Chains A and B, each alone.
Chain A
Amino acid sequence: MRDESVLKKFSALYVEDNKLMRDSIGRIIRRRFGEVYIAENGKEGLELYIKYKPNIVITDVEMPVMDGITMIKKIRAVKETQSIIITTAYEDDEHTDSSCVNLIKPVEAERLIDAIFECLGCGR
């Protein structure tokens, strides 16, 4: 069992349009991270990102107002090495880029946390 308390010194941005997912996963992340910022769409997410510069960004792809890909592009314009976890419903490679990890929906919480660790390079 890894020590999840190391995450407490990190901050995270979670962007998801589905309320149920946002609430549930939001809770799970919030329990572990020091600071968690939650947004409903890419636009909000970008604003929060610029404001708080979180250590990790977890985002859905298909969202209203601004989709995840656009948001990621803009975030990368700000910080190229930003660690990002993408949760996507599609199994294709379309959304894959240099961002840290692609998670295929359905997102399992365990896998998400694994991905977080992987991205932050905290090891197991």
Chain B
Amino acid sequence: MKRIGVRLTLGYVSILLILGCIIIFSIYRVNYQRTLNEKMRNHPFAVTRAIMNINMKLTDLHQGIHYLIRADDRIVIDESIAKITEADYEICSNFSLLSERFLGDKKLLSDAINAYQIYKHTNNEIIRLKKAGDKIDEDILISTEQQTDDIKQSMKKMSDFALYKYEYYLNELSHVRNNTINYLYLLFIIAIIVCSILSYIITRSIVVPVSSLITASQEISKGNLDCLVAINSYDELGQLENIFDKMVKNLKGLHDELKLHSEIIKNMSEGIALIRVADGIIVYSNPKFDKMFGYDTKELYGKHVSILNAPTDTSPEEVSEKIISSLHSKGMWEGEVYNIKKDGTLFWCNASVAEFDHQEYGHVWVSIHTDISKRKETERLFYYYMDNIDAYVYIKDTDSNYIFINKKTEELFNITREDLKIRKYTDYDFFDKEMAKQLIANDLHIMKLGKNMDIDEVGTVEGYQNTILQSGYRYYLALKFPYYNETGNVIGVCGFSYDITERKNLETALRKQEETIRNMLNILPVGIWIQDKEGKITQANPIAQEIWSGVKYVGVEQFGEYNAWRTTDGKKIEAEEWTGARAILKGETTINEELEIECFDGTHKIILCSSIPLRDVNNEIYGVVSCNQDITDLKNTEKKLRIERDKLTTILDIMNAGIYIVNKNYNVEYVNPLLTREIGENDNKLCFNYMYGKTEPCPWCKLKEVISGETVHWYWHYDKLNKTYQRYDAPIKSEDGSISKIAIFHDITELLNLQKTLKRELDFQTAFAKISEALLDSKLNRYDISKIVYEEALGLTNSSHGYVSIIEESSGDNVAVNLTDMMDKSCAVAKAEQTVRFPRGPHGYNALWGHSLNTGEAFYTNTPSKHPAFMKCTPTGHASIARFLSVPALIGNKVTGQIALANPVNDYTDSDLEIVKRLASIYAIALERKRMEEEIIELNIGLAQKISAEIKMRMHNEQLLIQQTKMATMGEMLNSIAHQWRQPLNAINIVVYDIKDAQDYGELTSEYLNNSAKTIVEQTDFMSKTIDDFRNFMRPSKEKAMFELKSVITQLISMFSPFFIKNSISINLISADEEFNVYGYANEFKHVVLNLTNNSRDAILLRREKGIKDIKDRVDISICRDNGKTIVSISDTGAGIPEDIIDKVFDSHFTTKSADKGTGIGLYMSKTIIESNMGWKLTVRNIDGGAEFRIEI
């Protein structure tokens, strides 16, 4: 339970509840006893009393009756009657009480009442009688007696019952009382036990934590702060424990912190001392403080504070007094004090003193001392340093208030540093408004930029009240820089200002002088350099800068930045080698040293460089003047000239032409190497002597013409070398102005030879062309060819005679059809016939003409008479043979003809033989070709006849094939019709059977019959329509007409689909929902599509035969538009077409199918119909998993 209150309340309530229960139980038992008492009173007591009353009254009544009976007197009678009535009344009231209270058998009561009523009745009779004065019968008396007994009897019974009841109640009461007492004992015992337990638990839950708290508190009081109370509950005590723990923790924290502080104070760098206010006695000092003042630990305790103050102008006591008074008034004091150590050393301290109430020492001052001797020294040094600088030094804060000025500035401003502490001073206090404004602006600028800055500041002419600047302009060079604090923020500006007025004036004068010199230098046409005493370049005039494309004002050691090379040896000029450097270092004067320089823009120039050292009166060098002259152009021109000259010489030297120069006096002035090589060295010979070794000019000499200014172009054959030169002789001006001749020799000997060869080659080509032409001309025969060869051979060799012959195959005779007219009339060979037969003898051919035929070797001889084969057997009239050349025409080793030539102007040469040999080889080929051609012509005639026969046969076959194809289509058609008819035929059959059957079963009625007849008619109509469809299909289209592709193909599919379905092939039309109208032969188109689809079906079946069956086979006919064309594509899932035959599938008679299945005409016909008849296009290609035929319309 969380809260103690709740816990206690529950405990108390439980105890109260137990007590309440006991009380309630007691009350209940008492009440029960009371009830029993009540019951006793109500019943047994009341009933007994009533019975007793009744009995008593009955006795009275009975007595009264008796009296009455015996009474005579009226009064007595009346009295008796009253007595009786009264008794009766009493009895009745008691009876009524009984009837109320009696708890026993009601019959007893009613019996008693009845008995009493009877008795009463009797009594009443007696009374009536007595009143009447009648005599009372004795019997009545007896009966009354009797009746009284009855009543009493009844009453007795009732009384017994009441008694019994009484006893019962009494027993019950005593029993209840005993029980109650027993129960109460038990309850009390239980209650006491329960209450004790509850009390114990509650008390314990409170006492345990409290005692642990007490223990903890005791521990803490002993100083043990580590003890914590275990928290066992979350009630008030738990919370208390929690708070307690926190308190302990805090306390521990504080304790540690205190320890730390104590450590800090002991170890801190500031000295701390506590001084009792009451008497100024030191009561505490930390180790640092002791050390600072040179005392031992605690040595200062009890000493007066004034012992620490240094004896200066003011006594230590006075200093103390001053501090104390400040402390009294302000509560604290801070400042620098001059202190004394134990050993007497004086030093500066920064002290801060504050009042403090100490528990132990009462009112104390806490004095914190820091040794600031070093700082003080630095400060002093700073001031000393600053004050001795011959410049105005100052520091301003960010608002440009002066916060430090040095002595010189103090003098300038006529204030002291101390004054700056009294009030703020700005530049407005010292300068005129404009100046001050400018100065402050500069400060702000520097602070903003955070950079150092040199500023020339000009004082004004205006006077100043508190400055020494009374008149005139003053110039200051101010160096200002931002004043940073430790964190790097600008907190002001520092400045040094020098008075440079004097210097400025001097500078101005100098500048003017310089300007004059500069102007002078600027107009000099050469580059002028001025170096100062150290050798540093201080000036360069514009020309100098122009030469170098810039300038570098550098000292001697950096002269290397100027790149230059001596032109004499190409050596780089080192820094100290410069003329200027040498002048300044060695006092050398250099004039016109030629250098190649690399200007700063990278260009190279040639300059002349001169330097002269400048010496003062003491002969000391105080500078150098150097002069640069740009001679690049001059140099370049010179260089170019030389190059040109070299070029010319080189050209002349290397030219593949001879050159020589001859003056008017025939003196050879120049011969180039080529000519020297050819003719030889010229040792100052005259030209004719040099060339020919002659003593006088050559007759063909062109010197005169040339000298007169003519250029002569001529060919010169130089006999000595057997060379022909093409020559140009031209006039050339000599140095002295006279005209010489320059002759250029070009050796064209080779060229001429080449030209000759070329011409012959061309002639040969022409001959070859002519022969080729003749060869192709079917009208010309072998002899025509030989004639052409004969003419060309004569031309090529310049021969005047000759012949070209053919070896006659049959005889082997050499037959020449063409021969020159070289025989006289008397010659045996008839000119008119132009044919001569050289017969072949048994040992070959005869004489010189037959030599080449016999040997198979070509030959020539320029001295025929000396040739071994010469037979001196020329016929009479035959021209004599001066030179002879003969070449056989060979095919392999077989001699087929001959070219024989004779008597050219010059001798035959090897080249003649060569060319004729080449001609002969062509001649041989030509002869062979012609011969073969003739044979072929003969053969061809036979062949043509064979071919025409073959064609006829083939055409016949094709007709047959087409017929076969048609028949096949017809067969297919019949199959279709048969299939289409099968269903209606079957229906008719069944219907007819059904009629009969109906009759057998007695169902046939006229209506039944009518229905059946109607069905049969429907079926026959369908059959008729089918046959019409097929007839239409078979009929060729008469002419081209528009038809719709989709409807045509749909119709086709409906007619032939059974053949596909039968083979489990689905045939589908795929097209957009639109009409595709085309112009053509509709039926023929259908045939083609049927043909192609059949082809597709066959391809599928072929593939299945190969064993590939698990494919949902389909033939798709798709119609689409593509680029304005309509495409009908028939694709299948068949075997596809092997790539090697795909180009042939449309060929006539090409088929891959066995003879019984295909004629090879179907695709050929399809292509013919589509392409020839309709002008469309039919193509085929393999697609993925099949083939596709495309009809492009």
Q: A residues touching B (Cβ–Cβ < 8 Å)?
A: 18, 20-21, 24-25, 27-28, 31, 62, 89-90, 92, 105-110
Contacts and interface: CB of A to CB of B under 8 A. Distances in A.
B576 interface: no
B982 A31 contact: no
B979 interface: yes
A68 to B, nearest CB: 14
A89 B979 contact: yes
Given A28-B997, A106-B982, 9 more contacts: A18-B983, A24-B991, A28-B993, A89-B979, A90-B1062, A105-B983, A106-B986, A106-B987, A108-B993
A106 B979 CA distance: 10
B979 A109 contact: no
A89 B982 contact: yes
A25 B979 contact: no
B994 interface: yes
B1061 to A, nearest CB: 8
Contact of B994 (A27, A90, A106): A27
A74 to B, nearest CB: 20
A109 B987 contact: no
10 shortest A-B CB distances, which residue pairs? Answer: A106-B986, A109-B993, A24-B990, A24-B994, A31-B1001, A20-B987, A106-B985, A105-B986, A28-B997, A106-B989
Contacts of A18: 983, 987
Nearest to A20: B987
Contacts of B991: 20, 24
B1126 interface: no
B1015 interface: yes
9 contacts: A20-B1015, A21-B987, A25-B990, A28-B990, A89-B979, A106-B990, A107-B986, A108-B993, A109-B989
A108 B989 contact: yes
A21 B986 contact: yes
Nearest to B1000: A31
Contacts of B985: 106
B986 A28 contact: no
Contacts of B989: 106-109
A97 to B, nearest CB: 17
A86 B982 CA distance: 16
B1104 to A, nearest CB: 12
Contacts of A20: 987, 990-991, 1015
B891 to A, nearest CB: 72
B1054 to A, nearest CB: 16
A27 B1062 CA distance: 29
Contacts of A108: 989-990, 993
Contacts of B990: 20-21, 24-25, 28, 106-109
Contacts of A25: 990
A25 B983 CA distance: 14
Contacts, number: 53
Nearest to B1018: A20
Given A20-B1015, A31-B1001, A110 B983 contact: no
A25 B986 CA distance: 11
Nearest to B995: A24
B986 A27 contact: no
A65 B1062 CA distance: 18
A28 B1062 contact: no
A110 B979 contact: no
A109 B997 contact: yes
Nearest to B990: A24
Contacts of A28: 990, 993-994, 997
Select the residue from B985, B997, B1015, B1061 with max chain A CB neighbours within 10 A. Answer: B997
B991 to A, nearest CB: 6
Interface in B977-1026: 979, 982-983, 985-987, 989-991, 993-994, 997-998, 1001, 1003, 1015
A110 B1062 contact: no
Interface in B1061-1114: 1061-1062
A92 B985 CA distance: 20
Contact of A109 (B982, B994, B1003): B994
Select the residue from B982, B985, B994, B1003 with max chain A CB neighbours within 10 A. Answer: B994
A46 B982 CA distance: 27
Select the residue from A20, A27, A108 with max chain B CB neighbours within 10 A. Answer: A20
Nearest to A87: B986
Contacts of A62: 1061
A27 B1001 CA distance: 11
Contacts of A109: 989-990, 993-994, 997
Contacts of A27: 994, 997-998
Contacts of B979: 89
Interface string B374-394: 000000000000000000000
A94 to B, nearest CB: 9
B1101 to A, nearest CB: 13
A21 B1003 CA distance: 18
Nearest to A92: B1062
A92 to B, nearest CB: 8
A51 to B, nearest CB: 27
A39 B997 CA distance: 22
B996 to A, nearest CB: 9
A5 to B, nearest CB: 12
A92 B997 CA distance: 31
Nearest to A108: B989
A27 B987 CA distance: 13
Given A20-B987, A21-B987, A24-B987, A110 B1001 contact: no
A62 to B, nearest CB: 8
Nearest to A30: B1001
Contacts of B994: 24, 27-28, 109
Contacts of A24: 987, 990-991, 993-994
B744 to A, nearest CB: 106
A42 to B, nearest CB: 16
Nearest to A90: B1062
Nearest to B979: A89
B224 to A, nearest CB: 96
A91 to B, nearest CB: 10
A90 B978 CA distance: 12
Select the residue from A21, A106, A108 with max chain B CB neighbours within 10 A. Answer: A106
Contacts of A21: 986-987, 990
Contacts of B987: 18, 20-21, 24, 106
Nearest to B985: A106
A109 B990 CA distance: 6
B999 to A, nearest CB: 11
A21 B121 CA distance: 125
Interface in B945-987: 979, 982-983, 985-987
A90 B990 CA distance: 18
B992 to A, nearest CB: 9
A109 B989 CA distance: 8
A42 B393 CA distance: 122
Contacts of A105: 982-983, 986
Nearest to B1001: A31
A105 B985 CA distance: 9
A28 B991 CA distance: 10
A90 B979 CA distance: 9
A1 B1077 CA distance: 63
A88 to B, nearest CB: 11
Nearest to A106: B986
A26 to B, nearest CB: 10
Contacts of B982: 89, 105-106
A56 to B, nearest CB: 18
A106 B1019 CA distance: 13
A42 B1015 CA distance: 26
Contacts of B1015: 20
A22 B421 CA distance: 134
A24 B1015 CA distance: 10
B986 A31 contact: no
Contacts of B1003: 31
Select the residue from A24, A31, A109 with max chain B CB neighbours within 10 A. Answer: A24
B458 to A, nearest CB: 118
